[in-house]
Amino acid sequence: MTSAFFTYDKKKVIQALRYHFITRREIKVMMILVNVFALLSAGLFFFKKISPFAFLISSILWFGLMITFWFLMPYMVYRKAETFKDRFRAILNDDVFRIENERGGRSWGWGDFSTWIESPHFYHLYFNTRSFFIVPKDAFEGDDVHEARRILREKIKK
C-alpha cells in the first residue's frame, strides 16, 4: 500500500490536460487530416492551383484547431472542475484506489479502470475514454512513486 497527499499545480494540470487531448485517437486523426490538408493547400497555393483565399481558409482552420486543443480546451476543463482546487489523499493498495479530502472519500476497485497512462507529471487513471482522474507523481515521496507505478502496472491493464 502507498498513499500520498497532494494538491494540483495549475501549470502541470494544464500540461496533463493537453497530454490527454493530444493522445486521444479521434483528435490525433483529426490533427493529422488537418495537417495533411494544410500542407496540400500550401503546395497547391505554391504551384498557383488554388487562390490565396483558399490557402488563407486552410491556414485559419489549422491555427484554430491548434489553439483549441492547446489552449482553450485545457483551460475550460480546468476552470470547470472544482476537483483541481482541493487537497487530496490518494491511497493505492492491492484491492482499491481511494481518494479522500476533508469532505469525504471514494474508493474504486481496480476493475473500474479501463487503462492508465503516465505523463511527465501525472498518472492518468481512465474509467473510459472521456472520464479520468489524474494523480500527481510528485505527491509520492522517494520510492513510493515507483511503488505506485508498480501497483498501477499490475492492477490496470493497458
pLDDT in tens, 12-55: 999 999 999 988 899 889 889 888 988 898 999 999 999 998 88
Q: How many helices (H) and strands (E) does the chain have?
A: 5, 7
The tens digit of pLDDT for each residue in 48-103 reads 999 998 888 888 988 998 899 899 999 999 999 988 999 999 999 989 999 999 99
| Domain identity same for 61 and 95 | no
The CATH number linked to 96 is 2.30.29
Phi, psi of 126, deg, nearest 5: -100, 130
Q: Are 31 and 65 within 8 A, CB to CB?
A: yes
Does 60 share its domain with 100? Answer: no
Q: Which domain holds residue 32?
A: 10-80
Task: Give the end of a domain, one of 61, 80, 99.
Answer: 80
Same domain as 118, residue 59:
no
**Which of 80, 97, 116 marks a domain boundary?**
80
Q: Identify the domain boundary among 80, 113, 140.
A: 80
Record the pTM.
0.84
Please indicate, yes or no, whether residues 75 and 111 belong to a single structural domain of this protein.
no
Q: Which residues of 112-128 are buried (b: 16+ CB within 10 A; e: fewer)?
A: ebeebbebebbbbbbee
Q: 128 and 111 in one domain? A: yes
158 pLDDT tier (thresholds 50, 70, 90): low
Please indicate, yes or no, whether residues 52 and 69 belong to a single structural domain of this protein: yes
- Give the count of domains, the chain: 2
